[in-house]
Amino acid sequence: MAAHLIPRLLQSIAVVFVVVSLVFVGSRLIGDPIEAYAAQNATEESIAAQRERLGLLDPLIVQYGNFLWGVVRLDFGESIFTEQPAWDEVMSRLWATVQLSLAAFILILAIGVPIGVLAAIRRGSIPDLIARLIALVGQAMPNFWLGLLLIFVFAVQLGWLPTSGRGGFENLVLPAITLAGFGAAAAMRLTRSGMLEVLSNDYIRTAQAKGLAGRTVILRHALRNALLGLVTVLGIMLAQLLAGSIIVEVVFAWPGVGRLIFRSISLRDFPVIQVGVLVIAVWFVVVNILVDLSYNILDPRIRVGSET
């Protein structure tokens, strides 16, 4: 276990390092933050003073060295615009995004997997057709459009839910559904195809021939095996939900990390961009490791470290 995990962790650290380095270089190629906020009649002296204060006059390699030294000390600098620690800026919004992502992930599991199973065991039936149609629409519809549609129907026309903002549970419903839309459709299709593949195997027929109850065959023998392929995709989905919530956060005025990064990119707020991307990269890596570990639980045949 440890023999597998340690190289995996080292590999993950390298991945995070490469990603953050790329973001460091990339963000400095897209423009100068001082230009984004300097007044039209700002004096050259004041502009130069600001560039010097932010270290933007140093050669890129020196800036990069300072950045890495800061990362080592867990000092990511201050936001150029709010002058608050960049780490605090991201962390203060992280829970809102995690909350939204987890809610969306639960919806993906709750909607995508059962309907996928149902569509597979009733292959060719009307429920299967409806499920496939929903999956197609769910994957084809852009989430900003789905979000606006949901707002119009459930907030404006029916008045059941608020249009935007972060407050109680009711504020979470529409953004979570919107964020889950694509993922649930994808999970539905993957579950269906995985189940169809598994259901055609001999051991399923054997289980049925043994007289096991249909529910037992589906849940214990078919679904568990079908989930093996799905877990990897769900893991990536969970990671993507955190990173991909930007549009949904903008549409629903959800005060999360996605919107912060979006705004920081437009303002060239380098420290905040770097911390935001770092957090997302770490999140991806952690989820991937968890997915690897989950194989142990789902499939004893590939239990890590048990090879002979």
Partner 1 sequence: MTRHWTQLRRARLSRRSLLRASARAGVGAAGLALVGCGDDDDDDQAQSVAQAQQQDEQQQQAMQQQEQQQAMQQQAMQQQAMQQQDDQAEQQAEQAQQQEQSAAEAQAQQEEQQAAADDNIDYNATAIGAYGSFPQILDQGSALARGGQSASNSYHYASVFPLEPQGTAITGGLGEWEFVSNEALIVRVTPGRVFHNGDPVTAEDVKFTIDRLSNKAEYNPEYNSAWTGELVWTGDNSLIDENTLRIEQAEPSVDAANSLATGGFPVFPKAVIEADGDDAYGQFPIATGPFKFVEWSPDEYIKSVRNDDYYNGRDFVGAPRMPYLAGFEARLIPEIGARVSALEAGEIDLANSIPPDLAVPLGDTGDYNVYYHPAQRGLHIKLPMTIDEDPYNPGQPNPWRDKRVRIAANLAVDVDAITQNIMTGRENYTYSLSAGQFGFAKDLVEQRWGYDPGRARELLAEAGFADGLETDLIYLSGLYTNDQLFMEAIAEMLRDVGFIVNLIPDDISKFLGEARNKELTAPYLFPQPAGFTSLGSFAIGVDSAATYEHKVEVLNDERAEIDRLIAEAKAEFDTERRRKLLEDAVRIHYTEASWLFLFELVQTHVGAARLEWDPFFLQPASVELWNLKSVKT
Helix (H, G, I), strand (E, B) or coil at 83: coil
CB of 147 to partner 1, least distance (A): 8
CB of 168 to partner 1, least distance (A): 14
Residue written as token pair 């993950």: 12
Nearer to partner 1 among residue 236 and residue 250 (C-beta): 250
CB of 163 to partner 1, least distance (A): 4
Nearer to partner 1 among residue 80 and residue 199 (C-beta): 80
Token pair in block for residue 244: 């991909």
CB of 184 to partner 1, least distance (A): 22
| Spatial distance between the Cα atoms of 157 and 174, rounded to a whole number of angstroms | 14
> Which spans of this chain sit near partner 1 (rule: CB under 8 A)?
30-33, 35-43, 45-46, 49-50, 53, 79-84, 93, 144, 147-148, 151-152, 155-156, 159, 162-166, 250-253, 255, 259-260, 267-268
Nearer to partner 1 among residue 84 and residue 125 (C-beta): 84
Tell me how long the chain is.
308
CB of 82 to partner 1, least distance (A): 5
**86-107 and 224-243 helices, crossing angle to 10°:** 150
Nearer to partner 1 among residue 192 and residue 268 (C-beta): 268
| Spatial distance between the Cα atoms of 77 and 54, rounded to a whole number of angstroms | 10
Q: How far is CA 162 from the centre of its chain?
A: 24
CB of 256 to partner 1, least distance (A): 8
Nearer to partner 1 among residue 177 and residue 287 (C-beta): 177
CB of 183 to partner 1, least distance (A): 21
- How many C-beta atoms lie closer than 10 Å to residue 111's C-beta? 20
Nearer to partner 1 among residue 32 and residue 65 (C-beta): 32
Token pair in block for residue 208: 């049925």
User: Do 229 and 190 form a contact (C-beta atoms < 8 A)?
Assistant: yes
Long-range contacts of 7-16 (CB under 8 A, 24+ apart): 8/289, 8/292, 9/289, 12/285, 12/288, 12/289, 15/281, 15/285, 16/278, 16/281, 16/282, 16/285
| Spatial distance between the Cα atoms of 69 and 202, rounded to a whole number of angstroms | 58
Nearer to partner 1 among residue 45 and residue 202 (C-beta): 45
| Spatial distance between the Cα atoms of 192 and 196, rounded to a whole number of angstroms | 6
CB of 47 to partner 1, least distance (A): 8
Nearer to partner 1 among residue 52 and residue 62 (C-beta): 52
Residue written as token pair 């043994």: 210
